[in-house]
């Protein structure tokens, strides 16, 4: 391939001048991160509630807080992380080439992605394709959308999911597709469609963009499974463990009632062996991960438990007001279940 | 026989005025039925178009507020146009991206350097313009690089390019394209006309290759594919990769523009210069190139304006340029209101319009000035 050769030739003098960050795509990611002094995290950059910059360029969101938790566990400093927005086209390459250490980019875990090039250690958010409809329609279930017109964005799996779901139930429907979410929402608002369908987590943000958010409702039902998971490179089990347990620590902390607010108090006065194990007062569980004993304490202290993070970025503390739903703890009827720390 | 008037004629009224506003209107706008009709159609179009735009951008605009709620009609209690409060709240992000707040004086100084360099080159009577060129093409870029990314020599903390964003990145990308493509383009154009076959074919190959691939392909290669081909322990900064791509791409186009100018200079000019005892290089530098470049000023500016706008393509490969940060900023649910997307794009349009229009005006000024030189010689 002459083009590649040329690109390579062109880049050689530059390498001499500008090659800066040393990167090893293989091997011990944790050691590299420690040596570098900061974590590099690929995010989507511009998805409400998951990763978005504020007016000063600081990043916020569920994916962002996950990376901050990882940095807190490693460095005891949630700010030792650098966020690199990844386009959906470049995200997997960026991970493979070692440009990023972890991909926290609301990426759906699928078999083909898992086997192709990366590993998904843990599901951080359970999403699914949902429907936004007008309240005035009085619809509460997706099957009531029989013979409805549905607005979708082109070239996404939503089209396929919708076709599958309606056909298997013998319902008829009509689809109108648009190039981007603006046009799709515009068509839905202007009355061209009865419903607007995309991932539920996005629908809450889309609803806010309508002229009268109160007049629209998001159906509770989801017609597809979209488990969002951080991605890591294959072949580094220790790093994979650390990424998974960062999430589990936040889940276990919530289940044990440890919040960002009370964690320092609990650390001093708790008698519960479970809380002691999580906070590193008993046992040396951080060592197995290549970290210090207080790794989970650092996460909760700096970033919070899963409930704190959810409320701050997606839940009632935000205009999105996404209900916990499947993301509630298993003890509350949800799917978030953390293996025990012991 | 001759007839001689013996009495004075009675004084006639002065001829109808052709000066003044009325006269100007008549000659310029209503000089015939066809022109009158064209004028009326255009005026009607403007009357139809401008008031709503003005209403949206100014009259109905919301200028202050703490969240998108302020830009909802039911909260504002009136029709709502552009939500400039949104731009105000996000302006730091839109200009600097995630550049650390404490270090923002560095991009500011960089903007100052750009202004200084531009003024130096644009102001034709400025002192030491030769030095200005050295500043713009050599000292400026190096100084800017050291300033923005931080060097130990200057005692500045390093700021990773992943933190750069917004107008800063758009300026960096297009300036690199402009500053690199002009000299590179001229060299390539000269090389393409060289008598040495190896050099000539190398230049032709280079130009045709880069003109033959779309810019978006170049960017994807640079940011998606290239990292896979490089050995694992080598990385080129992810902002530098598309920068190189854009610089090479732009220089291929620039080379063809300059070649057009070189061909427009009669061959006799170069020969006459040689006959006067100038060396080949002197003849090229003092006689042929100045005439060639003068001819292609519109083409060069056209290419530069195109390049400036093309730089938004880097947003597709994940570089946080101006358009990309606008997109990210308006994902904020605290700032979601019906007119926010339109506001964001209106702001982008105004920014690009301001920059491109200035470039076009400057080109027009240069052309007038060079044309004046032509008249003086004749």
Please give the radius of gyration of chain B, using alpha carbons only, rounded to the nearest integer: 28
In a domain, A4, yes or no: no
Residue-level pLDDT at A241:
95
Average confidence score pLDDT of chain B: 87
**How many angstroms separate the CA atoms of B61 and B54, rounded?**
9
Cross-chain CB nearest to B328 (options A21, A52, A58): A52
In chain B, pLDDT over 70 holds for what percent of residues?
Answer: 95
Q: Which residues pair with A41 in a beta bridge?
A: A83, A102
Same domain, A146 and A265: no
Residues 6+ apart with CB under 8 A from A85: A42, A43, A44, A45, A46, A51, B318, B320, B324, B328
Residue-level pLDDT at A21:
35
In a domain, A103, yes or no: yes
Using DSSP's 3-state secondary structure scheme, residue A317 falls into coil
Q: What is the pLDDT of residues B263-312, one digit of tens each?
A: 999 989 999 999 999 998 899 888 998 889 888 988 998 999 999 998 99
How distant, in Å, are the alpha carbons of A121, A209, B3, B11, B12 from that of B6?
115, 89, 9, 15, 18
**How many angstroms separate the CA atoms of A130 and A219, rounded?**
6
In chain A, pLDDT over 90 holds for what percent of residues?
Answer: 68
Same domain, A107 and A195: no
Residue-level pLDDT at A303:
97
Torsion, CA B171, CA B173, CA B176, CA B179, rounded to 10:
-60
Residue-level pLDDT at A157:
81
Whether the per-residue pLDDT at B357 is higher than 60: the answer is: yes
Please compute the mean of the pLDDT values over residues B227-243 and round it to a whole number.
77
Cα-Cα end-to-end distance for chain B: 48
In a domain, A246, yes or no: yes
Q: Which residues pair with A108 in a beta bridge?
A: A228
Is the distance from CB of A226 to CB of A129 less than 8 angstroms?
yes
**How many angstroms separate the CA atoms of A64 and A50, rounded?**
7
**Secondary structure letter of residue B160 according to DSSP:** -
In a domain, A286, yes or no: yes
Q: Do B333 and A15 touch (CB under 8 A)?
A: no
Same domain, A213 and A235: no
Same domain, A153 and A194: yes
In a domain, A310, yes or no: yes
Q: Do B238 and A46 touch (CB under 8 A)?
A: no
Among the residue ranges B188-192, B313-317, B371-375, the one predicted with the least confidence is B371-375
Whether the per-residue pLDDT at A12 is higher than 50: the answer is: no
How distant, in Å, are the alpha carbons of B111, B179, B183 from that of B288?
35, 22, 16
In chain A, pLDDT over 70 holds for what percent of residues?
Answer: 92
Burial of B314 (0-12, 13-18, 19+ CB in 10 A): buried
Residue-level pLDDT at B166:
92
Whether the per-residue pLDDT at B140 is higher than 50: the answer is: yes
Please compute the mean of the pLDDT values over residues A280-302 and round it to a whole number.
92
Q: What six digits make up the tokens of A96?
A: 């493979």
Q: Do A53 and B221 touch (CB under 8 A)?
A: no
Burial of A113 (0-12, 13-18, 19+ CB in 10 A): middle
Residue-level pLDDT at A24:
40
Q: What six digits make up the tokens of B189?
A: 């154009």
Strands A125-127 and A232-233: unpaired
Same domain, A186 and A313: no
More confident residue, A7 or A91: A91
Residue-level pLDDT at A23:
39
Q: What is the ipTM of this complex?
A: 0.80
Query: At which of A193, A224, A255 does a domain end?
Result: A224
Taking the alpha carbons of A65, A67, A73, A76 in that order, is the dihedral positive or negative? negative
Average confidence score pLDDT of chain A: 88
Whether the per-residue pLDDT at A280 is higher than 80: the answer is: yes
Whether the per-residue pLDDT at B158 is higher than 60: the answer is: yes
Q: What six digits make up the tokens of B12?
A: 């006639």
Same domain, A49 and A119: yes
Same domain, A107 and A245: yes
Query: At which of A224, A257, A276 does a domain end?
Result: A224
Residue-level pLDDT at B377:
46
**How many angstroms separate the CA atoms of B204 and B192, rounded?**
6
> B286: how many CB neighbours lie within 10 A of its CB?
12
Same domain, A114 and A263: yes
Residue-level pLDDT at B17:
63
Whether the per-residue pLDDT at A11 is higher than 50: the answer is: no
**How many angstroms separate the CA atoms of B226 and B229, rounded?**
5
Closest CA to A70 of A29, A24, A39, A37: A39
Same domain, A143 and A94: no
> B132 pLDDT band (50/70/90 cuts)?
confident
Tally the C-alpha atoms within 13 A of residue A84's C-alpha that lie toward its C-beta.
28
* Chain A residues with beta carbon closer than 8 angstroms to that of B338: 209-211
Is residue B151 within 8 angstroms of chain A, CB to CB? Answer: no
Q: What is the pLDDT of residues A169-217, one digit of tens each?
A: 999 999 999 988 888 999 999 999 999 999 999 999 999 988 889 999 9
Whether the per-residue pLDDT at B378 is higher than 50: the answer is: no
Same domain, A189 and A154: yes
> B96: how many CB neighbours lie within 10 A of its CB?
25
Domain count, chain A: 2
Nearest chain B Cα distance for residue A324, angstroms: 18
In a domain, A147, yes or no: yes
Domain that holds residue A66: 26-126+228-332
Whether the per-residue pLDDT at A2 is higher than 50: the answer is: no
Please compute the mean of the pLDDT values over residues A309-325 and round it to a whole number.
93
Closest CA to B105 of B172, B170, B150: B150
Whether the per-residue pLDDT at A338 is higher than 80: the answer is: yes
Same domain, A120 and A243: yes
Closest CA to A64 of A45, A91, A77: A45
Residue-level pLDDT at A19:
35
**How many angstroms separate the CA atoms of B160 and B149, rounded?**
6
Same domain, A212 and A247: no
In a domain, A211, yes or no: yes
Q: What is the pLDDT of residues A210-264, one digit of tens each?
A: 888 999 999 999 999 999 999 999 999 999 999 999 999 999 999 999 999 999 9
CATH number reported for the structural domain that contains residue A97 in this entry? 3.40.190.10
Whether the per-residue pLDDT at B115 is higher than 90: the answer is: no
Q: Do A20 and B237 touch (CB under 8 A)?
A: yes
Q: What six digits make up the tokens of B74?
A: 């039911």
* Chain A residues with beta carbon closer than 8 angstroms to that of B236: 11, 14-15, 18-19
Residue-level pLDDT at B346:
94
Q: Do B234 and A83 touch (CB under 8 A)?
A: no
Please compute the mean of the pLDDT values over residues B311-332 and round it to a whole number.
88
> B121 pLDDT band (50/70/90 cuts)?
confident
State how far Cα B345 lies from the chain centre: 18
Q: Do B227 and A99 touch (CB under 8 A)?
A: yes
Torsion, CA A178, CA A180, CA A183, CA A188, rounded to 10:
70
**How many angstroms separate the CA atoms of A167 and A118, rounded?**
33
Please compute the mean of the pLDDT values over residues B250-269 and round it to a whole number.
93
Residue-level pLDDT at A18:
32
In a domain, A158, yes or no: yes
Searching chain A, which residue's CA lies closest to the CA of residue B210? Answer: A3
Angle between helices A62-75 and A306-313 (to 10 degrees): 140
Searching chain B, which residue's CA lies closest to the CA of residue A47? Answer: B331
Query: At which of A168, A196, A224 does a domain end?
Result: A224
Q: Do A93 and B228 touch (CB under 8 A)?
A: yes
């Amino acid at each position: 391939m002459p083009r590649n050769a040329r690109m390579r030739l062109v880049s050689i003098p530059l390498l001499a001048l500008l090659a800066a960050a040393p990167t090893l795509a293989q091997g011990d990611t944790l050691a590299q991160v420690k040596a570098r002094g900061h974590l590099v995290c690929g995010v989507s950059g511009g998805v409400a509630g998951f990763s978005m910059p504020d007016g000063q360029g600081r990043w916020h969101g569920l994916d962002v807080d996950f990376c901050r938790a990882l940095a807190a566990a490693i460095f005891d400093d949630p700010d030792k992380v650098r966020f690199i927005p990844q386009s959906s086209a470049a995200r997997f390459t960026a991970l493979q080439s070692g440009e990023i250490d972890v991909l926290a980019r609301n990426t759906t875990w699928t078999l083909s992605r898992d086997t192709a090039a990366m590993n998904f250690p843990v599901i951080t958010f359970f999403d699914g394709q949902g429907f936004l409809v007008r309240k005035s329609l009085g619809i509460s279930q997706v099957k009531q959308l029989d013979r409805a017109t549905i607005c979708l964005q082109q070239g996404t799996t939503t089209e396929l999911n919708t076709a599958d779901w309606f056909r298997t139930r013998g319902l008829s429907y009509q689809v109108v597709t648009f190039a981007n979410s603006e046009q799709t929402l515009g068509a839905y608002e202007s009355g061209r469609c009865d419903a607007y369908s995309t991932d539920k987590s996005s629908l809450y943000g889309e609803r806010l963009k309508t002229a009268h958010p109160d007049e629209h409702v998001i159906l509770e039902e989801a017609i597809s499974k979209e488990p969002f998971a951080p991605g890591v490179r294959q072949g580094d089990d220790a790093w994979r463990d650390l990424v998974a347990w960062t999430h589990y620590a936040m889940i276990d902390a919530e289940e044990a009632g440890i919040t960002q607010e009370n964690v320092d108090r609990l650390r001093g006065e708790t008698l519960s062996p479970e809380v002691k194990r999580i906070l590193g007062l008993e046992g040396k569980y951080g060592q197995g991960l290549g970290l210090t004993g207080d790794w989970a304490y650092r996460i909760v202290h700096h970033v919070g438990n899963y409930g704190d993070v959810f409320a701050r970025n997606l839940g009632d503390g935000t205009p999105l007001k996404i209900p916990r739903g499947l993301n509630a703890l298993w003890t509350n009827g949800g799917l978030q279940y953390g293996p025990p720390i012991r | 026989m001759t007839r001689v008037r013996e009495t004075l004629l009675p004084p006639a009224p002065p001829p109808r005025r052709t000066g003044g506003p009325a006269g100007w209107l008549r000659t310029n706008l209503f000089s015939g039925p066809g022109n009158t009709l064209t004028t009326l159609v255009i005026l009607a179009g403007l009357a139809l178009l401008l008031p709503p735009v003005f209403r949206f951008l100014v009259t109905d605009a919301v200028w202050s507020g703490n969240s998108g709620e302020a830009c909802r009609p039911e909260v504002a209690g009136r029709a709502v146009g552009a939500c400039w409060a949104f731009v105000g709240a996000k302006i730091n992000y839109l200009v600097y991206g995630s550049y650390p707040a404490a270090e923002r004086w560095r991009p500011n100084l960089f903007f100052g350097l750009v202004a200084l360099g531009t003024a130096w080159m644009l102001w034709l009577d400025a002192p030491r313009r030769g030095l200005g060129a050295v500043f713009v093409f050599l000292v400026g870029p190096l100084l800017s690089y050291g300033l923005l990314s931080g060097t130990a020599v200057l005692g500045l903390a390093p700021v990773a390019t992943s933190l750069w964003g917004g107008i800063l990145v758009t300026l960096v990308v297009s300036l690199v394209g402009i500053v690199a493509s002009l000299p590179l383009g001229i060299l390539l154009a000269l090389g393409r006309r060289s008598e040495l076959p190896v050099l000539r074919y190398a230049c032709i190959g280079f130009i045709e290759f880069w003109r033959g691939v779309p810019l978006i392909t170049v960017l994807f290669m640079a940011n998606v594919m290239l990292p896979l081909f490089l050995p694992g322990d080598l990385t080129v900064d992810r902002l530098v990769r598309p920068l190189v791509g854009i610089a090479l791409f732009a220089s291929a186009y620039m080379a063809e523009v300059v070649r057009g100018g070189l061909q427009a200079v009669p061959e006799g000019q170069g020969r006459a210069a040689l006959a006067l005892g100038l060396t080949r290089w002197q003849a090229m530098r003092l006689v042929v190139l100045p005439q060639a470049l003068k001819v292609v000023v519109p083409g060069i500016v056209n290419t530069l304006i195109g390049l400036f706008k093309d730089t938004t393509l880097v947003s597709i490969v994940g570089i946080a340029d101006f358009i990309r940060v606008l997109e990210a900023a308006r994902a904020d649910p605290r700032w979601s209101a019906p007119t926010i997307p339109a506001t964001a794009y209106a702001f982008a349009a105004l920014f690009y319009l301001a920059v491109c229009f200035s470039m076009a005006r400057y080109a027009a000024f240069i052309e007038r000035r060079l044309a004046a030189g032509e008249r003086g010689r004749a």
